[in-house]
Structure 1
């Protein structure tokens, strides 16, 4: 297998691990264990907590002391052990603790995978900008494949989803040790301050009104992203409680229906350069926010029969909501920041979305759903839940439209996207 093929498999397995349980864990939590929604919010907040510090810490270790591919393998080995232990737990607090350990191991491997891919491609004289995106697409395909495997194997509400993820994690750990060496680039290097090493110098961007607003709104949109990851599959599965929908395709293959969102994501990413150049970051971000409103609103009124088109359209719109925010936001940071803080600024963008945003969305949604949108019988009031999320997105969009000021320059975007 050639270098590109090997990196393709690396990307595929990386996101296969995540896709095996991320979208279906709510079915296990509520359907299998019967634990509370307030505590479930803490499960997804572990992704945010891990994203606050682990990517930076492991980046420092890989830059200074340990080969990136070895550190990557060790983390997947430890993460696999944590995933393997999860099904043995009958206490929600202990479950959250162990899944936090699993995420502490997993979340930094996303950045390490990118670093390994870039290093290997450069060492083999490939054009990274041209060659890496088609390789990275296989990560999304891996995520979709795992969702399908979990659903078709009847594992979406059982402990098997964690076993599937654990096995994939062990396979990837072993495979990573066979990858070409990615040696530390800054071994023994001196002179950088602790602030620079940790990327904290990017926080000075908050002195700029426009950038501060951008990062704050990124956090609020990052919170919106967690909501469908947390509750989407569970929402579709619970149509089984309605007799006329109990045997519907949507109930039986809810995870496959949800995978349309990831398929859409791979397609909408191709449209980003056109939209950014024509409309600019503010309008593209507003399009993303409107897409989130439609994502939640269509779920509120969709059903497996006459409203199936709403569920399908909601999943398609997800691609626009996700990509127009995440990818466009990253390009905006690239065009607005000085080169000496550009990498740190990208880290800050990820910290605000996948870190603080994930914690905010996970924790707050769990509290609100548990307090206001759970019936006396323990059933979720889905229409009210999705409408509340839609209203949240509308409020964010209105404030963003009023407060965020930015003059669009098509030439700047054109240079970055080509």
Structure 2
């Protein structure tokens, strides 16, 4: 089998596993199980905790003791078994621990899949910069395909979404053992301290005002990154409670509508080099923050009939909001940190945004929605999205005022090249 095709299939299945349940789990939680909103926020916080704890640990294991593709396969099989158990769960506390176990296995496979692809492509003398992006795009296609299958088969509120995800995870786990070998690199010095092995030496960057500010803003914006993944599908589905919208396309095919967000991601990734060269990293990150304001604001005022254009535009804006922040933030770290701690610094950026940010964002949003915006079991989505938009706007204004960074087109061009 062609190496590029093998890696493309790996990328497709990697995100198919996630897309089968991530966007639709709220429908299962609120609709099928009728559990509370405060506890639901904790479910998404497991993504954050897993992103903080696991990637560094599995990175060390893959660097020193076990082939990366084998570790990758074992994690997917274990995660698949956890997902397969979810339909048997009858209380929210057990659900939390089972999904937490699944995420402890799944989240590190995202970075491992990149490492495996880079390793195999380099070993086979491929131009990684040229060849990897088209392979990675199939990951987004896999995510979209899983969303569509879940919706079109009538399972957007059914436990079958977890079976679909689990089967894909186990298949991917077994398939990974057929990939070319990625032996331990043993790049970590034997006399390195535990702090160095875990990348904790990058925390010294907090001693620099500019970097400390960057990481703090990354955490606060990271709190917004998963909010529409958490609540977007159930928000659209709950328009069914309004008689004039109950039979609308949006209600029936809410997951397909939400998939426009992922389609948008693939398009905005291609636009990033132009925006970075033209506006610079700070401006691109600010554009991302303002795009989050739009994302939430448009959801607040949209509806399935005369406000449908706002819902669709919100989904299109998502690609800019999500990608511009993640990629420009990563490039900022790449161009402003010492090469000796650059990998650790990238890990710290992910830890602050997708780790601590996602953890607090998931936890606090669930509590806030349950306490202030839910009345007699009915969620006030207009006010919920408006509150999220206000949160993103405050971050954007503070970032524009306090974060100082001079645009250097040459540094950006060098990284892009």
Please give the TM-score of this superposition, normalised by the length of structure 2.
0.99
Structure 2 counterpart of 1:354:
354
CA distance, structure 1, for counterparts of residue 203 and residue 188 of structure 2:
26
CA distance, structure 2, for counterparts of residue 45 and residue 35 of structure 1:
17
Query: How does 1:118-267 map onto structure 2 within 5 Å?
Result: 118-186=118-186, 190-267=190-267
- TM-aligned CA deviation for residue 25 of structure 1: 0.2
Structure 2 counterpart of 1:48:
48
Q: Deviations over 1:192-243 (max 9, x none)?
A: 2222111001101111111111111111111111110100000000011111
CA distance, structure 2, for counterparts of residue 188 and residue 238 of structure 1:
51
Structure 1 counterpart of 2:323:
323
Are 2:302 and 2:309, in contact at CA under 8 Å, matched by a contact in 1?
A: yes
CA distance, structure 1, for counterparts of residue 231 and residue 189 of structure 2:
46
Please give the TM-score of this superposition, normalised by the length of structure 1.
0.99
Structure 1 counterpart of 2:11:
11
Aligned length: 417
CA distance, structure 1, for counterparts of residue 197 and residue 17 of structure 2:
30
Structure 2 counterpart of 1:379:
378
Structure 1 counterpart of 2:414:
415
Alpha carbons of structure 1 residues 189 and 329: separation in structure 2 relative to 1, 3 Å: closer
Structure 1 counterpart of 2:389:
390
Are 1:221 and 1:353, in contact at CA under 8 Å, matched by a contact in 2?
A: yes
Are 2:63 and 2:188, in contact at CA under 8 Å, matched by a contact in 1?
A: no
Q: Deviations over 1:87-137 (max 9, x none)?
A: 100110000000000000000011111111011111111111111111000
- TM-aligned CA deviation for residue 188 of structure 1: 9.2
What is the DSSP-based 3-state SS (H/G/I as helix, E as strand, rest coil) of the residue aligned with 1:237?
A: helix
CA distance, structure 2, for counterparts of residue 333 and residue 163 of structure 1:
39
Q: Deviations over 1:280-337 (max 9, x none)?
A: 1111111111100010000001011100000000000000000110011101110011
Are 2:69 and 2:176, in contact at CA under 8 Å, matched by a contact in 1?
A: yes
CA distance, structure 1, for counterparts of residue 137 and residue 286 of structure 2:
25
Are 1:65 and 1:187, in contact at CA under 8 Å, matched by a contact in 2?
A: no
What is the DSSP-based 3-state SS (H/G/I as helix, E as strand, rest coil) of the residue aligned with 2:13?
A: helix
Alpha carbons of structure 1 residues 123 and 403: separation in structure 2 relative to 1, 3 Å: same
- TM-aligned CA deviation for residue 191 of structure 1: 2.5
Structure 2 counterpart of 1:27:
27
Q: Alignment RMSD, CA only?
A: 0.9
CA distance, structure 2, for counterparts of residue 110 and residue 193 of structure 1:
26
Structure 2 counterpart of 1:37:
37
Query: How does 1:291-306 map onto structure 2 within 5 Å?
Result: 291-306=291-306
Runs of 4+ in 1 over 6 A off after TM superposition: none
- TM-aligned CA deviation for residue 187 of structure 1: 8.1
Q: Deviations over 1:329-369 (max 9, x none)?
A: 10111001110010000000000011000011101100100
Structure 1, 266-275 or 382-391: larger mean CA deviation:
266-275
Unaligned runs of 5+ in 2: none
CA distance, structure 1, for counterparts of residue 380 and residue 188 of structure 2:
58
What is the DSSP-based 3-state SS (H/G/I as helix, E as strand, rest coil) of the residue aligned with 1:178?
A: coil
Structure 1 counterpart of 2:401:
402
What is the DSSP-based 3-state SS (H/G/I as helix, E as strand, rest coil) of the residue aligned with 1:34?
A: coil
CA distance, structure 1, for counterparts of residue 185 and residue 413 of structure 2:
32
CA distance, structure 2, for counterparts of residue 368 and residue 187 of structure 1:
45
Are 2:188 and 2:197, in contact at CA under 8 Å, matched by a contact in 1?
A: no
Q: Deviations over 1:129-149 (max 9, x none)?
A: 111111000001100000001
- TM-aligned CA deviation for residue 10 of structure 1: 0.2
What is the DSSP-based 3-state SS (H/G/I as helix, E as strand, rest coil) of the residue aligned with 1:93?
A: helix
CA distance, structure 1, for counterparts of residue 369 and residue 168 of structure 2:
33
CA distance, structure 1, for counterparts of residue 302 and residue 287 of structure 2:
22
Structure 2 counterpart of 1:270:
270
Q: Deviations over 1:63-83 (max 9, x none)?
A: 111111111111011000100
